[in-house]
Structure 1
């Protein structure tokens, strides 16, 4: 499946502001990245580096005034979502060491609280350990959390979402990740472009490691669908912000489109 994606941001820069952007498709996980471009108007020098998760980060300085940032890409992606209810839980002693970071509580995923542990145990009761548990958690979050803008804040974490029962895609992912980690299932957030969403925005979902493989899950959707361009992986949203600013700026416009 060939997807074409575009994310367009407009900023008013109050004083010179350094930006870190995660807006480029990962070459190592998408089927084939045909084109990818990051354009800034007025133009400025762009540097890049790879963070500890292998995400390609672009850094640049924006001068005072109105600035437009546009990321475009054409990517061949999977046209199916791999599902495997036979994928078993991997005991801790057999997990690759680099996955341990995805078992720990993190800034937005409070996997070690009583509320999260207790709920996870209730959701997966009677299910075989592994993929079936994760899918049950994904389904529970989808059915019990309402998708609405304007409720969650930069400080909102998984226990807030569990209490308030409302949030956006990153909140759905954070709650599901916390529940899965409480069962010692490695879980990470994924951000990128997704096709056929009921809203035009950059999207967040999650992946879990069972059966020696990372599987895709999306708690926002009734059923996880294909048509996804991966931009970045991390423990939670603090690792995968699309744009991080070090200075004073105001975003005055954003538009996202995905076709294919």
Structure 2
């Protein structure tokens, strides 16, 4: 299916600031970029940040005063609906080098603090069935509550509050997965079904030697998601990291499925 993306961010920077943007769709086997354009007004050179682009195309922006950043894209997504039941986790010694870090705790995903609960609540299932059980538990026990968390909220905080937004649901599922030996990472995405429209956060799990998307909020369909960035937790996938101070003036994200590749 073809997904159309139109995002616009307007900020005021009282002092010069360096900004790291992560707004562009990733090129991968299951999503092909038909066209896309990232721009900033006033015009400013957008410098590509060096690094593995399969984890996200990040760009540096030098910002001062009123700045508007826009991203438009058409992306063809060729991904099957979620189907991980029966899939297994490879032995740890067989994991690729770049997958091993997604077994470890991180800033927002404190797997070690939730391991006792996970082991007691989810023992018996393995692999994809285990992941589905954990995602079901989160969906059934958490309230999706905008404004209930902030940039300091960790998976442990969310677990205790039993409420949060997409990043909180994702952090908790990632923490459960890592506690139970399933490599898991966080993904920022454009999602057609989100209402009100916004950037979305979901999870990828490593099963049968491949990454598989899953949305614990159930607000989106995995086969429609357009990945933006991938990392250990929200630290790595922020759509905008500002080294300085800024005031948000306006933010708009429009994502829709359109006629295209079928």
Name the TM-score class by shorter chain.
over 0.9
The structure 2 residue matched to 1:151, chosen from 138, 145, 148, is 148
Shift of 1:102: 0.2
Residue in structure 2 matched with residue 13 of structure 1 by the alignment: 13
Say whether residues 1:63 and 2:64 are aligned partners. yes
Q: Over residues 127-173 of structure 1, what are the superposed CA-to-partner deviations in whole Å (9 max), with x where a residue is unaligned?
A: 2x100000111111111111112121211100000001111111110
Residue in structure 2 matched with residue 218 of structure 1 by the alignment: 215
- 8 Å Cα contact 2:2/2:75 also seen in 1: yes
Q: Map 1:66-81 to 2 at 5 A.
A: 66-78=66-78, 80-81=80-81
Residue in structure 2 matched with residue 251 of structure 1 by the alignment: 248
Mapped partners of 1:103, 1:239: distance in 2: 16
Mapped partners of 2:151, 2:123: distance in 1: 33
Mapped partners of 1:230, 1:81: distance in 2: 15
Mapped partners of 1:185, 1:229: distance in 2: 23
Shift of 1:124: 2.2
Instruction: Say which structure is richer in helix.
Output: 2
Q: Map 1:51-130 to 2 at 5 A.
A: 51=51, 54-64=55-65, 66-78=66-78, 80-113=80-113, 116-127=114-125, 129-130=126-127
Query: Which secondary structure state, in structure 2, belongs to the residue aligned with residue 251 of structure 1?
Result: strand
Residue in structure 2 matched with residue 32 of structure 1 by the alignment: 32
Mapped partners of 2:256, 2:127: distance in 1: 34
Query: Which secondary structure state, in structure 2, belongs to the residue aligned with residue 120 of structure 1?
Result: helix
The structure 1 residue matched to 2:201, chosen from 186, 204, 207, is 204
Structure 1 runs of 4+ with >4 Å offset? none
- 8 Å Cα contact 1:169/1:205 also seen in 2: yes
Mapped partners of 1:109, 1:29: distance in 2: 28
Mapped partners of 1:58, 1:220: distance in 2: 29
The 1:248/1:49 distance shift into structure 2, 3 A limit, reads: same
Mapped partners of 1:78, 1:205: distance in 2: 18
Q: Which runs of 5+ in 1 are unaligned?
A: none
- 8 Å Cα contact 1:187/1:206 also seen in 2: yes
Mapped partners of 1:94, 1:30: distance in 2: 24
Q: Over residues 109-140 of structure 1, what are the superposed CA-to-partner deviations in whole Å (9 max), with x where a residue is unaligned?
A: 00011xx112222332332x100000111111
The structure 2 residue matched to 1:232, chosen from 220, 229, 232, is 229
Shift of 1:54: 3.4
Deviates more, 1:90-99 or 1:223-232: 223-232
Q: Over residues 206-243 of structure 1, what are the superposed CA-to-partner deviations in whole Å (9 max), with x where a residue is unaligned?
A: 01101111111101117854211111100000011100
The 1:83/1:173 distance shift into structure 2, 3 A limit, reads: same
Shift of 1:11: 0.4
Shift of 1:30: 4.2
Report the count of equivalent residues.
256
Q: Which runs of 5+ in 2 are unaligned?
A: 258-262
Say whether residues 1:178 and 2:179 are aligned partners. no
